[in-house]
Amino acid sequence: MLVIAATLVGYALGCAVPGYYLVRWRTGRDIRTVGSGKVGATNVRRVLGRGWMLATVAGDIGKGALAVAIARLLDLDTVSTAVVACAVTAGHVWPAQIGFRGGRGAATAFGAVLLLAPAAALGAFVIAALGAKLTGRVTAAGIAGIAAAPPLASVFGGPSDALAVGALAGIVLLAHRDHLVTIARGLGRPHEPHPAAERATVAPARDGGA
């Protein structure tokens, strides 16, 4: 029962999607009608600007870390803690209260992995950051970092860490399936319009945004 309760709490935390509620509060709009149609930080930047984007990233990472922290406070075993981590990530990707249409879960999963396997989380972040810097392809670089996380967890932790991080990576990659198809076809990055197009299609938030 304790594991079930912690899993439900994790899912509920995941459903608290900062990007959706910040944009709704600031503009009255549904962020899922703008840009990529997702509730993550990149789309928040399109609507509200950099400051609110950073707030969204902090909230998404924080809820992933908080879910794992709760599991550890309850002294759950590794498998149960991994289940809670998957629940918070799934809550972000498929939030029940807004029709199961959320974000892609990368930041939330990163927050969970920071506590589950810190070295793997930092290694994946470095890979993603370097890839984005060298190629300019932010989404593809992020996916590379996600894919690298389970092997890194195995190297720096062990099989149990690799399985936990692998489950999280699987959820995030599933949420990125459209990007994976596009990358495989060599057609470039979807949902990343030119800044001039963004300015032409996205109205500024009330009170000037962040």
Name, in order, each residue with C-beta under 8 angstroms of 125's C-beta and a sequence gap of 6 or more: 110, 145
pLDDT of residue 205: 46
Confidence of residue 163 (pLDDT cuts 50, 70, 90): very high
Q: Domain segments of the chain: what residues?
A: 2-204
* Segment 133-139 mean pLDDT: 84
Q: Report pTM.
A: 0.82
* Segment 77-82 mean pLDDT: 94
Identify the CA nearest to 106 among candidates 182, 40, 19.
40
Per-residue model confidence as pLDDT tens digits over 88-133: 999 999 999 999 999 999 999 999 999 999 999 999 999 999 998 9
